[in-house]
Amino acid sequence: MVKLLCHRLLLAVPTLVIVSMMIFGLQKMLPGDPVLAMAGEQPDPQVIQYLQHKYHFDEPVPQQYLLWVKDALHGDLGEALRTGVPVSTLIAQKLPVTLQLSVMALAFAMLIGIPGGILSASNRGRPLDYGANVLALSGMSIPNFWFGLILILLFSVHWHLLPSAGYVSPADHFWLSIKTMLMPAFVLGMGLGAQLMRHTRSAMLGVLRSDYIRTARAKGLRWPTVVIKHGFRNALGPVVTVLTLLLGELLAGAVLTEQIFTIPGFGKLIVDSVFNRDYAVVQGVVLCTAICFILLNMLADLLYILLNPRLRRGS
Amino acid sequence: MNTRDAVHDVPSASRPTPIIEARELTRHFGGKRELFTTTPTIYAVNGVSLKVQAGETFAIVGESGSGKSTLGRLLLRLLDSTNGRVLYQGKDITSLAAEPMRRLRREMQLIFQDPFASLNPGMTVGRIVGEPIALHGLARNGGERAERVAELLRTVGLQPDYAQRYPHEFSGGQRQRISVARALAGEPKLVVGDEPVSALDVSVQAQVINLLETLKHSLGLTLIIIAHDLAVVRHMSDRVAVMYLGEIVEVARVDDLYDTPMHPYTQALLSAVPASTPHARRAVPVLGGEMPSPTEPPGGCHFHPRCPHARPRCQVEKPVNERVGDGHVVACHFWREIQNAGGSPSLASHVSAKLEERLAWYRAAQARAVVPGVSDHHG
Amino acid sequence: MTTGAAAASTHAKVASPTKRIRNRALARFVRNRGAVVGAVVVMAFVLMALFAPWLAPHDPLQTNFLQVRQPPSGIHWLGTDELGRDVLSRLLFGARASLSAGVVSVAIALVIGLPLGLLSGYYGGVVDIVVSRVTEALLSVPFLILAIALAAFLGPSLTNAMVAIGLSAMPRFLRITRGQVLVVKTEDYVESARAIGLRDGAIIVRYILPNVLSPMVVQASLTIATAIIAEASLSFLGLGQLPPAPSWGAMLNTAKDFVDQAPWMSIFPGAMIFLTVLGFNLIGDGLRDALDPKE
């Protein structure tokens, strides 16, 4: 097990290195001189010089990269252009917000997706399955920013049930916080839930066809027990794998959802920094995302191996 | 590195350059060092030396896992050897560069075992058979190529208009014929058949074997047949090499091998061939156990754990090829002592005296019963 | 290949197995109601995009400050936007941006991903290691985030958005291709190609490529759906099609500020995106079921 963990960690290192190089390379793609872009309307030669030194533009590119990495390892990802707030501080502030949104969205997704998938698989071929599949496909096809707008139209504008924007920290006011997050979390969770339902369905279908399920039924066990106790436990592996895939979509969805609902989270940070042409922030944020993802994928790999006793021995 | 006598004799009549020769060919798989483990090494072929003369049918027999398929591919350089050399018509081709090797391939072809996997499903038969012709520029234009393809198809016993069809429309036997046609398209000198009939129905096997034999004679080919069916091998080969766990244990002319096998493994293999009559059965100890995995070959003589004649020396010292007779070579320490342990059931039927007597009565009775209606009650 | 002097064959001309598979798959596809619906929907949008100039009742760029944010009426069937432009006309022209973005992005992804996947799968070795590491690195950033980052650095425009989306989608195609190549590579018929002395290039093109295309087709269809949403998202964020050119995503971007005053601005563009994407997803699903030998 420990050997496996080390193996995976070591494999992740080159990936991390390449990602960091690519992200660093992004800024070299910019047309024109980034210093001039940062210096603003009236380029004061002193300001230019200062900026060039600060961002190490006067040094060769590989050196710039190494310095950037060194800083990043120390937690220094640069500063926001206008406010001068360190990027790491920004991330620390905004990540918990997105985390709350994500957790609630995942809750919705699992509530919709997993039972939906199990039900669908158990009723294969019948109208319930067909209908569920149509619903799932629709859920996957709806752009979540549009879905958000529609919900705002209904629940905020028309019926005045839920707030359409803003954020309340749970520390301040728990239930209001939940209420404010309800619509965004639902919007975000729905697309994920649709995909989760389809994957759960196919995983369950694969499992339900197997011989040990037939044995369980032959033993006389009641169908729901069979499905859940025997079936789902074995379908758990692929479901966990899918969840990790969906994490990527979660973040991407968060970007759009936070924009619609004006939630000051990690996603909105990306969008705002792109609008402000605050490239240092964009780079820092993307790097952070990539690192999280690689680590999460590793975790998912390990979880999958843990769940599947057959893989635990050897690689 | 085992020092093995590279004496590998040929019938003493003449010693022309063998068309293909292997010298201490070795091929190991695996053994790669990964992060925390090393993949196990598979000792597929170890120090194999043999010579095949032009125009003969040379058979390589052995069980699954003996390394015979690997050896076949090593000879054609479809696999590169870990060690050792391959000589074609006397020239060392072991490290021949890619481009000259590709040109050389025209002269040495391979027929695969599985007829259902060896033909590109997306190409018509005509394209499959015509590919070598086009590749080596043996036809001046499409029309000529089509003619050659038609002729090749006729040669292997298929209708020329099959050229427009696709492989999946044919049976196993027919597909194998298509493979043969493709192998012949480049006008090769040497054809290696990797278990060419193992995957076919028994009734079809005979047809394909006969086809190969006929072609060999009419085209002057050299055939190397890799097989595990000893009956097939006896029928069509001139010389036979027996492989066990990556090494050649015995080589002989076919009749010598079947009549007087020297190596205990050969003897055991032959004893398993069904006898034609009950009287011809021999009482030879059945071979126990299984062939060990090629990743852990036993020390000394590979065969010693299963050999009924094994002695302490066999566990430690590797046997060397020793000349037994004319063109007969064996790798065993004690072949002289084991010599009389037996051969295969002979082809000629062994009739008992009692049966002979009864047959004589029957024939006599038949000779007398010329007049119809006169019944005979003799047996 | 015609045989020179062959007599007329009594056997009817049979199609190539690839064609036969296609015919069988087509039959299965057609039987799948969802897939057919998807195909019809997509066809409708393609026609809409092609014939927009003739179908649109008004000029999509024509502003009219007297008719700002008008609800649907007889003149403007779907209302007007914040600059008085006809929503319906803008929708019809917006189909062009979305569909072309979907197709071009996937084309870019294929053009890069397919050959790279073929080469890295076939040759293995250092090439494969490098390509695999880079692919993994690209895949470690969520698709949309990557597209946003690329689009941000390239600068906002529809073309740049297409490039960004294409590059972000490329790793998936590469991975699928490479996986298929690894499977096909070990088949006997590939070895037989080497045995007759074919060069690597011919082997890859004649023996490996045709057997790799099937899953690629499914992935392409599903990726077009993703690409359309991605383009809409990028335009929504101001990174794609710049105004005043019509794009469904950009329309939603302005619409969100007028949700209460002019809901029709929000409803219709999004519905268009939804339907188009649903159509491609249905097709992709249908293709997957039709080409899957197990079902």
Residues of chain A in contact with residue B35, where contact means CB-CB under 8 angstroms, are 6-7, 10
Select from B78, B150, B169 the Cβ nearest to the Cβ of C6: B150
Of C239, C274, C282, the CB nearest to A146: C274
In this complex, do C14 and B166 lie within 8 Å of one another by their Cβ atoms?
yes
Contact B44, B27 (CB under 8 A): yes
Give A150's contacts in chain C (Cβ within 8 Å): 266-267, 270
pLDDT tens digits, residue range B316-342?
Answer: 888 888 888 788 888 888 887 777 555
Q: Do C278 and A141 touch (CB under 8 A)?
A: yes
Å between A310 CA and nearest CA of chain C: 23
Whether A252 and C144 have beta carbons less than 8 Å apart is answered as yes
Q: What is the pLDDT of residue B357?
A: 84
| CATH tag for A93-278 (out of 2.40.50.1020, 3.40.605.10, 1.10.3720.10, 3.10.20.30) | 1.10.3720.10
- Closest by Cβ to A26, choosing from C134, C153, C259: C153
The CA distance from C94 to C249, in Å, is 9
Among chain B, residues having any CB pair with chain C shorter than 8 Å are 76, 78, 101-106, 109-110, 112-114, 117-124, 126-127, 130-132, 135-136, 142-143, 146-147, 149-150, 160-161, 163-166, 168-169, 179, 182, 186
DSSP per position, B57-110: EEEEE--TTSSHHHHHHHHTTSS--SEEEEEETTEE-TT--HHHHHHHGGGEEE
Q: What is the pLDDT of residues B13-66, one digit of tens each?
A: 456 888 999 999 999 988 776 656 677 888 889 889 999 999 999 999 988 888
Answer yes or no: are the C-beta atoms of C117 and C177 closer than 8 Å. yes
Q: Tokens in use for C77?
A: 């069937």
Number of A/C CB contacts below 8 angstroms equals: 137
Q: How many other CB atoms sit within 10 Å of the CB of residue B352?
A: 11
**H or E element that contains C136:** helix C125-139
Strands B322-325 and B247-253: unpaired
Say yes or no for a CB contact (<8 Å) between A22 and C137: yes
Q: Which residue is closest to A250 within chain C, CA to CA?
A: C142
Q: How far is B37 from chain A (nearest CA, A)?
A: 9
Beta carbons of C158 and C241 less than 8 angstroms apart: yes
Q: What is the pLDDT of residue B376?
A: 46
- pLDDT above 60 for A122: yes
Q: What percent of chain C has pLDDT over 70?
A: 90
Q: Is the pLDDT of residue B268 over 50?
A: yes
* Closest Cβ opposite residue C197 in set B102, B113, B160: B102
Q: State the Cα–Cα distance between residues B245 and B64, nearest whole angstrom.
A: 9
Beta bridge partners of B29: B42
Mutate to test the interface with C, among A146, A197, A244, A262 (most CBs of C within 10 A): A146
Residue A192 token pair: 């994920």
Are the C-beta atoms of residues A187 and A154 closer than 8 Å to each other?
A: no
Please provide residue B90's backbone torsions phi and psi, each rounded to the nearest 5 degrees: 85, -10
Cα–Cα distance for residue pair B229/B233, rounded to 1 Å: 6
Task: Tell me whether strands B57-61 and B322-325 are parallel, antiparallel or unpaired.
Answer: unpaired
Provide the shortest C-alpha distance from residue B293 to chain C (in Å): 23
Residues of C (228-247) whose Cβ lies below 8 Å from B: none
Chains adjacent to B (≥3 CB pairs closer than 8 angstroms) = A, C
Using a CB-CB cut-off of 8 Å, the residues of chain B touching C194 are 78
Best residue in A2, A7, A8, A313 to probe B by mutation, most B CBs within 10 Å? A7
Provide, as residue numbers in chain C, all residues whose Cβ is less than 8 Å from the Cβ of A274: 148, 152, 237, 239
Contact list, B36 vs chain A (CB under 8 Å): 3, 6-7
Q: What's the confidence (pLDDT) of residue C257? A: 84
Report the alpha-carbon distance of residue C76 to residue C89 in Å, rounded: 9
Q: Please provide the DSSP assignment of B284-331 as one string.
A: -PPPPS-PPPTTSPPSSSTTTTT-TT--HHHHHS----EEEETTEEE-
pLDDT for position A74? 79
* Of the ranges A85-94, B356-365, C54-63, C179-188, the best mean pLDDT one: C179-188
Residue with the bigger pLDDT between B319 and A57: it is B319
Note whether C125 contacts B: Cβ–Cβ < 8 A. Answer: no
The DSSP code for B349 is -
Query: Tokens in use for B15?
Result: 């010693």
- What is the per-residue pLDDT for C11? 45
pTM recorded for the entire structure: 0.78
What HEC string does B287-298 produce? CCCCCCCCCCCC
Nearest to C274 among A133, A142, A164 (CB): A142
Q: How far is C14 from chain B (nearest CA, A)?
A: 7
Q: Where are the domains of chain A?
A: 93-278
Smallest CA-to-CA distance from B330 within B222, B272, B244 is with B244
Average pLDDT over residues A242-266: 85
Is C293 part of the contact surface with chain B (CB cutoff 8 Å)?
Answer: no
Identify the residue with better confidence: B188 or A51: B188
pLDDT in tens, A13-45: 888 888 888 888 877 776 666 666 666 666 677
Give the closest residue to A260 by CA, choosing from C232, C256, C82, C235: C256
B7 pLDDT more than 50: no
Smallest CA–CA distance, residue B34 to chain A, in Å, is 10
Tell me which DSSP letter residue C205 carries: I
- pLDDT exceeds 50 at position B104: yes
Q: Does the structure's ipTM exceed the value 0.90?
A: no
Spell out the per-residue pLDDT of chain C, length 295, in tens.
444 444 444 444 555 666 666 666 677 777 777 888 889 999 999 998 998 888 888 888 888 888 788 888 888 888 888 888 888 888 888 898 889 999 999 999 999 999 999 999 999 889 998 998 889 888 888 888 888 888 888 888 888 899 999 999 999 999 989 988 998 898 999 999 999 989 999 999 999 998 888 888 888 999 999 999 999 999 888 888 887 888 888 888 888 888 888 888 888 899 999 999 999 999 988 888 877 654 3
Cβ-based contacts under 8 A for chains A and B: 7
Report the range out of A20-24, B183-187, B303-307 with the highest average pLDDT: B183-187
- pLDDT of residue B344 exceeding 90, the answer is no
List the 171-210 stretch of C: residues with Cβ below 8 A of B.
187-189, 191-199, 206-207, 210
Q: Are A244 and A293 in contact (CB under 8 A)?
A: no
Of C249, C270, C282, the CB nearest to A137: C282
CA distance C230 to chain B (A): 37
> Whose CA is closest to B173, among B116, B93, B258?
B116
Is A255's CB within 8 Å of C148's CB?
yes
pLDDT higher at B93 or B309: B93
The runs of H, that is alpha helices, within chain A are 2-26, 34-39, 45-54, 61-73, 87-122, 127-141, 144-151, 174-208, 211-218, 223-225, 233-261, 266-275, 279-307, 309-312
Give the model confidence (pLDDT) of B109-156 as tens digits.
999 999 999 999 888 899 999 999 999 888 888 889 999 999 999 999
Rg of chain C's alpha carbons, rounded to an integer? 23
C207: closest chain B residue by CA: B120
B105 and C195 in contact by Cβ < 8 A?
yes
Question: For residue C260, which residues of chain A lie inside 8 Å, CB to CB?
Answer: 153, 157
- Cβ of C18 under 8 Å from any chain B Cβ? yes
Nearest-CA residue of chain C relative to B110? C195
- Residue C59 backbone zone (phi > 0: left; psi -120 to 50: alpha; other: beta): beta
Cβ distance of C3 and B126 shorter than 8 Å:
yes
**Chain A positions in Cβ-Cβ contact with residue C98 (cut-off 8 Å):** none
Residue C262 neighbours by CB under 8 Å, 6+ apart: C69, C71, C79, C81, C82, C255
